[in-house]
Structure 1
Amino acid sequence: MMSDECPETKVADAISKAVIDHRVIALVVMSTIASLMLEFAYKCSSRQPFFEKLSQKRKWVINSHLQRAPLAPLLLVGYVLAIYILATGCNVASAYMLTSAFLAATMDFQEWVRFWPRDLPWEYIWHHIAVIVLGIQFCDLGLKSTWQWCIFMANIGVQWCTNYVSNLIFLSPSVRVCKWATRCQFLVIPAKTCNVCIMCHKIKEAAETGTWGIAAMLTVTCLGYTYIFVKSASFYLRFDAQKYFSTHQGVWNRSAPLAESEESIESGAKSQV
């Protein structure tokens, strides 16, 4: 059965068309969801005993991770959809890709509006531009949804899960949990590598078909994503969880009035050889 003959494909396309036709309503709804998730993050993080001792940048990152964590399971559906598309030939990716890309872009755009240029950490600017540009491609430029993009967004779901776990490095009162959370950050490297490969493949496809605008925007997305990927991986490769814990949570457990600084975070990273 051809993809355009599948009733599932027609339903998915109808949903995506409805979102596009009512994009302002969709933006309001998704912005509201993002705001509620951020409020949820603030309430969760404020209950953590060590949270107030962290730097403002670290607080921002932790709340950003908490905001996205409840939505991560929704993105993981992409793996199921990719298998379904490959098994049946029915492309049901459009609704999933449009809504997930729209939601991710909305969250990053909301942060961009609220925190840039004063409070948005400069190293995350590339990332936010990349996500927003990807959302524009699906929502405004008609980037075709495929099974590869389903895997891409599902990998983002995995990334959001490991980001949530990374919060334990800075909040857990247990050194064992801190070390475990650090090791977990390496589990997402295959997913991120896969995403870079998917984007490179899509850039090549766009160039071969002469859609240079899409190719250029995908290149921006790929560069931004890769930059954060490399920066994050290099940080955790150098990070010494035991040293960080002993100079932070270990001290705070003794009720010492020490607050975290950016320099103290870097001191937990091993010097590269």
Structure 2
Amino acid sequence: MVYNLTEMSKAIRKRSIDLAFSSGNNAAHLGPGLSLVEIFTALYGYVMKISNDMTNFEDRDRLILSKEHGVLSYYAALEYIELIGENDLDTFMKSHSEFLGHPVMNRAKGIEFTSGSLGMGLSLGIGVSIALKKKKSNSKVYVILGDGECNEGSIWESVMSASMQKLDNLVVIVDRNGYQLGGKIEETLDMGDLREKFKVFGWNSVQCDGHDVNDIISKIKSNQNSDKPFALIANTIKGKGVSFAENNIEWHHSVLTKNLYKQALQDIGVVYE
């Protein structure tokens, strides 16, 4: 299916805000979800091989959301491509829901793996990449990391391992929004030039504007003929599109009241009804 990527990103951002509001006093990770909108738009709207029958489509590309608290836009994207039903997603964070604050594996709905503890997704991605190579599959594995998550030592062990094994079917996208739970990255544990770090460890690595869908797609496509894993450092804004949430650590995880919900919709050009 061919998607209008501009409309897709707008719909995903709006639905992410809706989900945050519907979670009520449970609160939601609004800031981390909004910084990922265009990344999911590029992947699910253009880049990845997907199907409406993900369980039986062996040639599908795999996505691992290692930055698992970015679920708002993850779920919204899967709903947009009709892997998750609207009625199902309306249960987000409700009692007995399948759709929680961290993703739980449900391949029929496009959720390949359960994730919870930060720093584990890339190791998992390496295992999947190796398995696909042994099967002589052309499928790719996409792993989404947070820049704060890159503080984890397990990430860099995985980076070295992937390079040594020449996993050219592995793509890492780092959501570099500059913040983590405790505050600014540079004031917590400054990671410096992430693009250069991946490069030193033997990866192909480039930067992009993480809110420009076409730039994301172009940079991923630029790495078609290589025997190295690929890292895309996506420069993003935490809480992108919502005035009170942009670059505001309070909106890493918070309650979206009705008045703030109305303001958020206004910020993205949607009339509250």
Tell which structure's C-alpha radius of gyration is larger: 1
**Shorter-chain-normalised TM-score: which range?**
under 0.3
Q: Higher strand share goes to which structure?
A: 2
TM-score, with length taken from structure 2: 0.27
